[in-house]
């Protein structure tokens, strides 16, 4: 066996998606089942469509309410669903205050700084309570914030981030957290879209061994928001090392304030949590779509919190005595739902890691797991592939034991899954492969770990209370369990689903509901299947396999990037006339962007121009969007009506069959581009390819 085969890297995702073989089942261990939160298979009957929507009362009853609701689901403004109407609740109270009686001296968060010589920092529920209150007092008194105001938070993975989020939630202030790896410009665009009065940031943070400057991004963000006609009143800057300013960027007099200094005035202050209507927005989370600017997914308070609490309990199997570590960044939905709100609502201990899991070496993650005795582990296939590549034998050197592991964000290849199971999980942990999205707030498809066996490469059946259907392009239902690919939809609303796109209800309706809506006037939820935008197929056993996006969104290392966003960044480079971005299959990151550009007359191709394109992307979006290649092509393959054939470029990037190109306006360009990308010698062309690539660029 070659080394490559041993590692399973020879099995391309293309082969898996197209020639999907049934995988064997892995049953959960009896020890796992004996301690699991959910072992009662009647949950699926309880949560059947016959019992919808009242079945979700079970989830809402996991929370403390100031006032109980009178209407479980209000559909009067379909498809903007309102859950638990009439109820009053506060998310900060549910994640902090209510645990004090039993758990005040238990760690809510354990912060693990990237530098290994810095000690771990446990934060008890009492300490979290004090910090959240003091920060809420500052936001209320110093910044004048009140319920319904928006605040943008551009912070790295430090405890000050959940403290800030929970302080906002305490006041009913809507937070919009922007992933710290995003550029200042991306942050500024999100500030102006949400018209946030305030930006909260941090001076610096550690990543891969360096203390990265971060405050400079705030200046850029405020400038960009300004350009767009929105003025930020104040910028609050947390110090990564309290008492020391770690940034080289000066503070702007009258606008920028050090949070750690201001907090001294609020020492010991307590702020009563504001009882918020259940359907009041809790936060915005921006995500990429097909066209134009990122969309602010608006999540509500009561429904969202109920859904993430219940799924953290039943699917993540979190008990208060567990040590739970989700390696996602809080700047993404996974971090919101399954580092902060879900686990804390259950009084869990949630580990918060600042750095990258392969720094300074491939054993770092396992050292953390061993030292903290982590027993629930949660990460993305990209990270699993990265850890496997960097240190395939590392986990066995460390004495940790996971009872449960999660994978999220991308399809996981069965080979990679098996490494996760046997090597990382030591054959002891139950794995859940959870399929969901920023929009959906929580899991849509997954096994409930004590109830169903695992099947590598399959997300599992629908989560309790979620009722998927697969439609073909004509709107016919693909028979359940037929192994035929189509567009997966969810028949029913569920409490975790987003409420709308901030400020753009039309886009919400047209993107997610218009395609399969049975009657646009209807107030009946049955007429409004939700379209997540993924292709999927369902096997006989009811398990779903997710095949990838059906739109022009690229899933890079589990992060969603809109191709149009990348293209408009390229067009900001003065030499560039046209740009087309396509996904390329990558062994570790799943997909990476390949960029094709053509130049304006008078310019010729150069390394410098390629570099400019790369820089423009880093500045506009962030380093996560870094392209694999920038190809400066003589011309783009185009239809006679002038449309760029992205499908053809995607085929070239992935050695797939380009199909019939004779009807193009400039068919000869295809061969020129192919040679540039693949070299002069013809390469073996796959007749078929992964579902998302086959569909890519086809409108
Ligand atoms: O294509 C699906 C893929 O990630 C998309 C959602 O991305 P985002 O909103 O950034 O949320 C990521 C974390 C929830 C989906 O439309 N995706 C997510 N989970 C899976 C997945 N693809 C396959 N298997 C999964 N488990």
pLDDT by residue (tens digit) across 413-436? 899 999 999 999 999 999 999 999
| pLDDT mean over 270-289 | 96
Give the torsion through C-alpha atoms of 227, 228, 230, 231, to 10 deg: -10
Question: In terms of Cα–Cα distance, which of 646, 633, 641 is closest to 665?
Answer: 641
CB of 234 closer than 8 Å to CB of 227: no
Q: Which of 437, 462, 501, 532 to mutate to test the pocket of ligand 1 (most atoms within 8 A of CB)?
A: 437
CA of 332 to the centre of ligand 1 (A): 11
The Cα 237–Cα 249 span in angstroms is 11
Q: Is the minimum distance from the CB of 154 to ligand 1 under 6 angstroms?
A: no
The upper half-sphere exposure of residue 667, i.e. CA atoms within 13 Å in the direction of its Cβ, equals 7
Q: How confident is the model at residue 46 (pLDDT cuts 50, 70, 90)?
A: very high
Q: Whose CA is nearest to atom 14 of ligand 1?
A: 437
| pLDDT mean over 54-58 | 98
Q: Which atom of ligand 1 is nearest to the CA of 439?
A: 9
Per-residue pLDDT, 18? 45
CA of 534 to the centre of ligand 1 (A): 9
Q: How confident is the model at residue 388 (pLDDT cuts 50, 70, 90)?
A: very high
The Cα 350–Cα 312 span in angstroms is 12
Mean of pLDDT over the chain = 94
Which pLDDT tens digit goes with each residue over 446-464? 999 999 999 999 999 999 9
pLDDT tops 90 at residue 6: no
CA of 694 to the centre of ligand 1 (A): 18
Q: Is the minimum distance from the CB of 433 to ligand 1 under 6 angstroms?
A: yes
Which pLDDT tens digit goes with each residue over 469-505? 999 999 999 999 998 889 999 999 999 999 999 999 9
* Helix (H) / strand (E) containing 365: helix 364-372
Q: How far is C-alpha 699 from the chain's CA centre?
A: 26
With b for 16 or more beta-carbon neighbours within 10 A and e for fewer, the 219-258 pattern comes to bbbbebbeeeebebebbbbbbbeeeebbbebebeeeebbb
Per-residue pLDDT, 699? 54
The Cα 578–Cα 567 span in angstroms is 8
Q: How confident is the model at residue 528 (pLDDT cuts 50, 70, 90)?
A: very high
pLDDT tops 60 at residue 3: no
pLDDT tops 90 at residue 680: no
Q: Is the minimum distance from the CB of 413 to ligand 1 under 6 angstroms?
A: no
The upper half-sphere exposure of residue 342, i.e. CA atoms within 13 Å in the direction of its Cβ, equals 30
Question: Which of the residue ranges 205-209, 289-293, 671-675 would you say has the lowest mean pLDDT?
Answer: 289-293
Q: Is the minimum distance from the CB of 78 to ligand 1 under 6 angstroms?
A: no
Highest-scoring range by mean pLDDT, 13-17, 342-346, 563-567: 342-346
Q: Which atom of ligand 1 is nearest to the CA of 546?
A: 23
Q: Which of 420, 435, 696 to mutate to test the pocket of ligand 1 (most atoms within 8 A of CB)?
A: 435
CB of 288 closer than 8 Å to CB of 439: no
Q: Which atom of ligand 1 is nearest to the CA of 532?
A: 16
CB of 282 closer than 8 Å to CB of 274: no
pLDDT tops 80 at residue 4: no
pLDDT tops 50 at residue 10: no
CA of 229 to the centre of ligand 1 (A): 34
Per-residue pLDDT, 455? 97
Q: Where does residue 170 rank: exposed (0-12), middle (13-18), buried (19+ CB within 10 A)?
A: buried
| pLDDT mean over 322-335 | 97
- Report CA torsion sign: 619, 621, 627, 630: negative
CA of 334 to the centre of ligand 1 (A): 10
| pLDDT mean over 113-140 | 98
CA of 310 to the centre of ligand 1 (A): 20
Please give the DSSP secondary-structure letter assigned to residue 525: G
Q: Where does residue 365 rank: exposed (0-12), middle (13-18), buried (19+ CB within 10 A)?
A: buried
Q: Whose CA is nearest to atom 8 of ligand 1?
A: 437
Q: Is the minimum distance from the CB of 379 to ligand 1 under 6 angstroms?
A: no
Q: Is the minimum distance from the CB of 378 to ligand 1 under 6 angstroms?
A: no
Q: Report the SS3 class of residue 397.
A: helix
Is the full-model pTM beyond 0.85? Answer: yes
List, in sequence order, the alpha helices (H) in 210-325. Answer: 215-227, 259-262, 302-314
pLDDT tops 60 at residue 5: no
| pLDDT mean over 312-322 | 98
Q: Where does residue 3 rank: exposed (0-12), middle (13-18), buried (19+ CB within 10 A)?
A: exposed
Q: Is the minimum distance from the CB of 276 to ligand 1 under 6 angstroms?
A: no
Q: Which atom of ligand 1 is nearest to the CA of 328?
A: 13
Q: Whose CA is nearest to atom 6 of ligand 1?
A: 437
Question: Which of the residue ranges 288-292, 452-456, 620-624 would you say has the lowest mean pLDDT?
Answer: 288-292
Q: Which of 333, 341, 409, 537 to mutate to test the pocket of ligand 1 (most atoms within 8 A of CB)?
A: 409
Q: Is the minimum distance from the CB of 329 to ligand 1 under 6 angstroms?
A: no
The Cα 330–Cα 163 span in angstroms is 12
């Amino acid at each position: 066996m070659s080394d490559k085969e041993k590692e399973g890297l020879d099995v391309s995702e293309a082969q898996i998606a197209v020639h999907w073989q049934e995988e064997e089942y892995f049953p959960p261990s009896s020890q796992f089942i004996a301690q699991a939160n959910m072992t009662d298979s009647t949950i699926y009957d309880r949560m059947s469509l016959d019992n919808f929507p009242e079945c979700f009362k079970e989830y809402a009853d996991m929370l403390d309410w100031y006032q109980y609701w009178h209407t479980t689901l209000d559909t009067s403004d379909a498809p903007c669903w309102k859950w638990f109407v009439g109820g009053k609740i506060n998310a900060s109270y549910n994640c902090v205050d209510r645990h004090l009686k039993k758990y005040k001296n238990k760690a809510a968060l354990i912060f693990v700084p990237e530098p290994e010589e810095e000690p771990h920092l446990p934060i008890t529920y009492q300490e979290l309570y004090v910090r959240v209150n003091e920060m809420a007092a500052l936001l209320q008194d110093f910044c004048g914030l009140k319920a319904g105001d928006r605040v943008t938070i551009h912070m790295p993975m430090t405890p000050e981030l959940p403290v800030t989020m929970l302080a906002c939630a305490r006041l009913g202030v809507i937070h919009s957290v922007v992933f710290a790896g995003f550029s200042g410009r991306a942050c500024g665009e999100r500030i102006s879209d949400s018209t946030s009065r305030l930006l909260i940031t941090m001076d610096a943070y550690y990543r891969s061994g360096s203390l990265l400057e971060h405050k400079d991004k705030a200046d850029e963000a405020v400038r960009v928001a300004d350009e767009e006609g929105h003025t930020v009143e104040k910028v609050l800057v947390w110090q990564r090392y309290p008492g020391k300013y770690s940034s080289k960027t000066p503070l702007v007099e009258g606008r920028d304030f050090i949070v750690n200094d201001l907090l001294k005035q609020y020492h010991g202050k307590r702020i009563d949590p504001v009882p918020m209507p259940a359907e009041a927005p809790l936060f915005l989370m921006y995500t990429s779509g097909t066209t134009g600017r990122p969309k602010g997914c608006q999540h509500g308070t009561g429904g969202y919190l109920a859904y993430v609490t219940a799924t953290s309990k039943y699917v993540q199997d979190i008990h208060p005595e567990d040590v739970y570590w989700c390696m996602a960044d809080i700047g993404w939905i996974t971090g919101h739902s399954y580092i902060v709100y879900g686990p804390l609502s259950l009084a869990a201990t949630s580990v918060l890691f600042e750095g990258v899991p392969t720094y300074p070496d491939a054993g770092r993650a396992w050292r953390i797991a061993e030292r903290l005795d982590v027993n629930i582990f949660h990460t993305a296939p990209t990270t699993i592939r990265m850890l496997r590549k960097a240190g395939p034998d590392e986990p066995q050197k460390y004495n940790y034991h996971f009872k449960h592991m999660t994978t999220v964000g991308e399809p996981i290849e069965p080979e990679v899954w098996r490494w996760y199971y046997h090597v990382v999980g030591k054959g002891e942990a139950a794995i859940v492969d959870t399929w969901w999205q920023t929009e959906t707030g929580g899991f849509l498809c997954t096994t409930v770990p004590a109830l169903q066996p695992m099947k590598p490469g399959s997300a599992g059946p629908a989560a309790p209370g979620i009722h998927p259907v697969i439609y073909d392009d004509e709107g016919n239902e693909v028979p359940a369990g037929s192994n035929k690919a189509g567009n997966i939809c969810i028949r029913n609303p569920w409490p975790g689903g987003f409420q709308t796109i901030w400020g753009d209800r039309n886009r919400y309706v047209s993107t997610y509901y218009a395609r399969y809506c049975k009657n646009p006037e209807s107030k009946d939820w049955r007429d409004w299947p939700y379209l997540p935008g993924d292709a999927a197929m369902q096997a006989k056993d009811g398990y779903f396999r997710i095949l990838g996006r059906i739109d022009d969104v690229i899933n890079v290392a589990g992060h969603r990037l809109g191709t149009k966003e990348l293209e408009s960044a390229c067009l900001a480079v003065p030499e560039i006339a046209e740009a087309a971005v396509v996904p390329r299959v990558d062994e570790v990151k799943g997909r990476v962007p390949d960029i094709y550009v053509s130049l304006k007359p008078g310019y010729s191709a150069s390394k410098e121009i390629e570099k400019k394109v790369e820089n423009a992307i880093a500045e506009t979006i962030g380093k996560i969007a870094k392209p694999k290649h920038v190809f400066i092509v003589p011309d783009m393959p185009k239809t006679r009506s002038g449309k760029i054939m992205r499908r053809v470029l995607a085929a070239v990037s992935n050695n797939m069959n380009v199909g019939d190109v004779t009807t193009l306006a400039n068919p000869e360009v295809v061969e020129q581009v192919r040679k540039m990308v693949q070299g002069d010698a013809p390469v073996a062309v796959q007749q078929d390819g992964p579902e998302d690539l086959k569909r890519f660029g086809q409108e």
